[in-house]
Chain A
Amino acid sequence: MDLDYLAVVALSSLSSAAVLLIATLGLAVVFGLMGVINLAHGEFIMFGAFAALTASRSGLPFPLAVAAATLATAAFGVVVERVVIRRLYGRLLDTLLATWGLSLALYQTAVLIFGSVTPGIGMPISTIAIGRYTLSSYFLFLIGIAVALLLGTYLLLTRTHYGIMARAAVQDAETAAAMGIETGRLNTMTFALGSGLAGFAGAILLPAFPATPGMGFAFVTKAFLAVVAAGPVTITGTALTGGTLGTAASMTASFSATVFGDIVFFVGTLLILWWWPNGISDRWRRKL
């Protein structure tokens, strides 16, 4: 086991964790600012992937396709919030059920429109060499994207007026209203933000993960677990749980089989919830 191999395993584990974080961030934002778990989050990612695919195929350069997909998914999120989420305000378990129904409806619609298998758009060929091994540089690029997204979201939620008001509203909705904060509009914006992040994830991951109707499911099972295990301080908490569980899972997978990696992730979640039933950040005194 030489150093190069370890380095490669470490980097590729980090990039797996990065992929998980990119996919999870939208869910964490919605949960952290609205208290809602959107079980259709994976299908929103799929929505973004197909949107980017379609945009790319009709001639748009990739970066623009990503932007277009992000906006399209955000718009779709606005519709969903108005039609479904808003009517179930305060009914946590009912929201879980309704978004679950939505997830399956979206999945089936995608199957009907696109069929079960679609070609991807191919990854940029460039690679990086570490000793005898090579790593696709796109995966390393994704590590950078994940960090940028985390920072950007953190800044958005702590430095902008929207972010401050949204955090106030989730901590004490009634008092926030009494201060003039219009929680209904904020919720729509938050859901749009979460959807947009999901769409962005689907689009930016397209070179590495071809768009298929079932791709959402593959991502989000771990995303849900990471968010729930994270607890009330969602952004930092999810970065922690997603980062550690994701890295641990992927390193296990590198040294044995994928399924063991998944099991490590799942069992890790259960252990975290045993010690901290409300999530790992339950007692934290951090802002976000």
Chain B
Amino acid sequence: MVAERDLGPVATEAVAARAPDGAFDRAQRHAWWLLPCLTGALVAGSAGFVDPYLLYVATSWVIFGLLGLSLDIVWGKGGILSFGQTALYGIGGYLAGIVAINFAPLTGNTLIWTLPVGALAGAGAAALIGFFIFFSRMGPLQTTIVTYTFTLILWTGTVSFTARIGEAVVGGDNGMSNIPMLTAGFGAGAAPLGPAGMFITVVLVATAVYLAVAWLMRRPFGLIVIAVRQDDVKTELLGYDVRRQRLLLFALGGAVAGIAGALFGGWATYLNPNVFSVQQALLPPIYVLVGGRGSLFGAFIGALAVGGLSFWLGGGVIGGQTTLVLGLALIALVILLPGGLVGAARALLARCGLASVAAIPPATLGGYAGIPAASAQTALDRPGKSLTVQGISKAFGGVQAVDDVTLEIGSGSVRCLIGPNGAGKSTLLRLCMGLERPDSGSVRLGADEIARWPAFARVQAGLGIKMQRTQVFYECAVWTNLWIAAYARLGDARAAAQTAARALDQIGLRGRAHEPASALAHGEQQWLDIGMVLCLDPEVILLDEPTAGMTASETRRTAALVRALAGHAAIVVVDHDMEFVRMLDARITVLHQGAVFAEGTIAELRRDERVLDIYLGRRGGVADL
């Protein structure tokens, strides 16, 4: 695991720094694929012992579980509440059905047509709506409503439209019939599967899809998804294009939903517009909530529970008292058990001290089994970039927060921004970073004019920021936080591990590398935040009150760190702690009421009566601004 020769200068407890490695832990590491395979095999195997009619109905439960999985992917993992998964499911089903009707007779086998078509149709439609939703940067409420709208449009459309595509007849309200039943064999003589055969086939497909998704979630992609869910602003400030990440995740969910729809068509041999109805759209959230949001396999448990319940109550899943029970169950679940059954179990485990922390699976680390020993950083020989703002202004309503500010910070130098509260310092940093749009003026990073660039583009160009409030991924381990930051810059798992290890030593947290960020003290969290910025190796660093809440010794360490960085990057520091500012020994700009008031070294400013005035508020020395 961790190379024990070099644990870094600050680590005192080797135990805490080591990732676990017993037989049990190794089994745990492989559990992610072992358990689903075993479960799938067991379930498929049970087909020999169960009544064929029950098998036939149970097949639909597995399909619904897959539909629930598609929602858990985007909602449980990604935080996007989509009411459109059944619509994607329906699209997959309809298109796969049309293709199957026309082409399946050629090969006998339907799966080779329906599965890819279902996946592509679902992914394609999801990509279209996803582009619309995520690239317009709408909020979560609008997102949900737009997915709802999408379902409504499809429902209205399919109810009214009829069409004839090849041999397939899409008959509006009457739906589409004669979809070939699932056939696994090849050739003209292949017979459709019986109840047992269909069940086994569907279980195998579901297991395969689940494994593929679980595998993806253990790749960097999955880690970024978790990061976006916890704090999308921070993720963007690391340089990730959050819109694209969400779009990819949504398309993945669409593919899974499309496959489920294709399977459904092959199972029922008939599809009608009800698949796009509101009552149907209600089901995936229930499956996910019952089973446990974010668990992925919980969706199958939920589908089983709901399907089983309605089977037992008699009558289909829609209609009859089942809808009433489901509606009330949804209310109860949301209020009482937001984590679902799995969540409740997890909470119990957490109470016993067995909580799991989002950590990086070793396979992802590109060859490293744990945290590598930090190697020395090769000296960077780059020309360095400067940051220039010119004539920048920003007003909020009637309040002029930043008033025609012009500043130049040369590469490799440090600048302190000070001024009384409300002087506009934080707003100025936010304008440089792209978190606010300026009313006028320009921002230049090196030779590029970046005033219109989105935040992540500025980060990729070499601008880094540590905001006033600590922004870390609280559910993830310390080491994971740093790795996610490093990966954003480097795109290579192995290099990211090396960079993150270096940062870990620089901030002195190697001893706590595997603990969740939420367990750190406030000052340590600030350090972790700074560490993540360091992993980006920015050429210009903006620090907004980096010593807020720090003790005196922590403040001294921060000052030392800033001075050490000063050679490689231009640094802008906003702070109120004058001791800290003194320690930095840099040029100072004083802001007052949004405008540049004075500039100079700390010695010069201490002698400047006007500066003392604005801090002490002495009258006489300050002209009415």
Contacts and interface: CB of A to CB of B under 8 A. Distances in A.
Direct contact of A and B (CB under 8 A): yes
Interface string A3-33: 0000000000000000000000000000000
Given A94-B338, A228-B142, A277-B142, A221 B152 contact: yes
B152 A277 contact: no
Interface stretch (B329-337, B379-387, B473-481, B582-590): B329-337
A184 interface: no
Given A94-B334, A94-B338, A228 B145 contact: yes
A277 B326 CA distance: 33
B156 A266 contact: yes
A102 B138 CA distance: 26
Nearest to A97: B334
B139 interface: yes
A195 interface: no
A107 interface: yes
Q: Which residue, B144, B289, B329, B338, has most C-beta atoms of chain A within 10 A? A: B144
Interface stretch (A55-63, A71-79, A85-93, A152-160): A85-93
Q: Which residue, A88, A103, A106, A266, has most C-beta atoms of chain B within 10 A? A: A266
Contact of B140 (A93, A102, A109): A93
Nearest to A222: B152
Contacts of B330: 97-98, 100-101, 104
A93 B279 contact: no
Contacts of B338: 94
A221 B326 CA distance: 21
B336 to A, nearest CB: 9
24 contacts: A96-B144, A97-B81, A97-B289, A98-B334, A98-B335, A101-B282, A102-B331, A105-B328, A106-B327, A107-B323, A108-B323, A109-B324, A224-B148, A257-B160, A259-B157, A259-B159, A262-B156, A263-B153, A263-B156, A270-B132, A270-B146, A274-B132, A277-B138, A277-B139
Interface in A258-272: 259, 262-263, 266-267, 269-270
Interface residues of B, number: 37
Contact of A101 (B132, B136, B141, B327): B327
Given A105-B323, A228-B145, 8 more contacts: A84-B335, A104-B279, A105-B331, A225-B145, A228-B142, A270-B149, A277-B136, A277-B139
Given A92-B141, A104-B323, A259 B160 contact: yes
A266 B153 contact: yes
A23 to B, nearest CB: 16
A101 B323 CA distance: 9
A217 interface: yes
A11 B108 CA distance: 58
Contacts of A259: 156-157, 159-160
Contacts of B132: 270, 274
B2 interface: no
Given A96-B81, A257-B160, A217 B278 contact: yes
Contact of A97 (B136, B285, B321, B324): B285
Interface in B89-140: 132, 136-140
Contacts of B334: 88, 94, 97-98, 101
Nearest to B278: A217
A100 B146 contact: no
B331 A101 contact: yes
Contacts of A257: 160
Contacts of A270: 132, 146, 149
Contacts of B157: 259, 263
A101 B142 contact: no
A102 B330 CA distance: 8
